[in-house]
Amino acid sequence: MGTAPLFLVDELPAGPSAVLDGPEGRHAATVRRLRAGEEITLADGRGGLAHTVVDTVGHDRLDLRVVSRAVLDPPVPRVVLAQALVKGDRGELAVELATEAGVDEIVPWRASRCVAKWEDGPRGDKALARWRATVRSAAKQARRPWVPPVGAPVSTRQLAALCGDVERVLVLHESATEGLATFIDPAPAAVLLVVGPEGGVSDEEIATLTAAGAHAVRLGPEVLRASTAAAVALGAIGALTSRWSPRG
C-alpha cells in the first residue's frame, strides 16, 4: 500500500475532526477524487503531522476524522542551499529536486555569471513566487512534513555574511581538489551548500567565500549542471550522515 497523500494546512486540527477546504480541499475532492474511508495526512510545513481518515466528501471539501498526530524532529545536519539563479525553468527544476532531496532552506544567489536577472520589482517578485510555489508543490509530492522557506535573493557579499551563521560552508566547484565527504565526517550541525550558475563560480567569488570560511569541494569526476548539482550533493550528504535515517 502506498503512502497516504499529504496536504498542507496553515494549522493542524486541535480536536478529533477537521475540514480540508480551500485550494487543498478542492484538489483532494475534485482532482484526486478521494473517497470516504481513504487515509490522508495533513502537514503544517513545520514538522507537524495529523493522520486522518476521510469521513465524507463534499463540494470542494473533505470532512476528516483525526487518527493520530506527530511532531517530527528535523534532520541533522541542517542543509541550507544557496542556489544561483538559473535561466528559464531550470531554476525551478533545481529547487524542485533539492526539495525532494530534503533541503531545509533555499537562498537564491545573484552570482556574477548568472544569465537570469531577478531585478527588484514585479518581475523579480514573480520569479521568486514561482520558486516558492515549486518548493511547496515538491514538498507535497515528496510527502515532506517541512516546506523549506525560500528567502529573498542575495548578492555575493550578502552570501559571504551568511557563512558565519553555519558550521560548514561548501562551494561546489569543478576545479576543487577535495571531495565533499572530507568536510562531512564528522557531521556538522549545519551546512551551507553553494551551487553556482551554468557559467560557474568566478575566481573572485571563490576568493570572497573562502575568505569567509567556505571550502571549495567537488562531488566526483563529472561536471554537473546547475539544476542538478544540489540534489546530487544532498543525496551524498544524506548517505554520509543520519539525515536519511527513518524518523518517527
Q: List, as one string, the DSSP characters of the chain.
A: -PPPPEEE-SS--SSSEEEE-HHHHHIIIIIS---TT-EEEEE-SBSEEEEEEEEEEETTEEEEEEEEEEEPPPPSSEEEEEEEP-TTTHHHHHHHHHHHTT-SEEEEE--TT-SS---TTHHHHHHHHHHHHHHHHHHHHTT-SB---B---B-HHHHHHHGGGSSEEEEE-TT-SSBGGGGTSSPPSEEEEEE--TT---HHHHHHHHHTT-EEEBSSSSPPPTTTHHHHHHHHHHHHSSTTS---
| The predicted structure's pLDDT at residue 248 | 52
Angle at 155 between CA 45 and CA 209, to 5 degrees: 95
Nearby residues of 247 by Cβ (< 8 Å), 6 or more positions away? 72, 73, 75
Query: Could you state, in chain order, the average pLDDT of each consecutive group of 10 residues for the chain (248 residues)?
Result: 87 95 93 94 97 94 96 94 93 97 97 89 92 96 95 97 95 93 91 95 96 95 92 96 79
The answer to whether the CB of 48 falls within 8 A of the CB of 160 is no
β partners of residue 226: none
Domains and CATH numbers, the chain: 6-71 (2.40.240.20), 78-240 (3.40.1280.10)
Stated pTM of the model: 0.93
Q: Quick count: other Cβ atoms within 10 Å of Cβ 169?
A: 27
Distance CA 45, CA 10 (A): 8
Backbone φ and ψ for 96, nearest 5 degrees, come out as -65, -50
Of the candidates 94, 90, 112, 95, the residue with the CA atom closest to the CA atom of residue 159: 112
Average pLDDT over the chain reads 94
Question: For residue 78, what is its C-alpha cell?
Answer: 541542517
Angle at 151 between CA 149 and CA 154, to 5 degrees: 150
Residue with cell 531577478: 118
| The predicted structure's pLDDT at residue 62 | 95
| The predicted structure's pLDDT at residue 203 | 95
Of the candidates 57, 68, 2, 70, the residue with the CA atom closest to the CA atom of residue 31: 57
The answer to whether the CB of 77 falls within 8 A of the CB of 190 is yes
